[in-house]
Amino acid sequence: MKRVYELVHELKIPLIDEHVYSNAEFIGSTMTSVVTFAYDDDESVIRGFLGLAEYFHTIVIRKADRFYIVTPDLQFKLEAG
């Protein structure tokens, strides 16, 4: 969790977490695909996940112990493996 925050800051990617929003819901019917990243202390997985936020020019959302990147057709999820 801590390393994700460090890399988000380093890469200057906006991060939204429960300190900022009051509620976050993901409505699955509007997305065509969900891609899940699972990491076990492998920083390249975190960097790859955060690189998608940079690529899509979007934000990272934290909800509980997971991070999400949401685009119009895709949802990317990062969770502990």
pLDDT of residue 56: 92
Q: Specify whether the CB–CB gap between 7 and 52 falls below 8 A.
A: no
pLDDT of residue 54: 92
pLDDT digits (tens, 9 = 90+) for 36-79: 888 888 888 898 899 999 999 999 999 989 999 998 888 889 99
pLDDT surpassing 70 at residue 30: no
The pTM assigned to this predicted structure is 0.72
Where do the structural domains in the chain lie, given as residue ranges?
A: 2-80
pLDDT (average), residues 2-31: 76
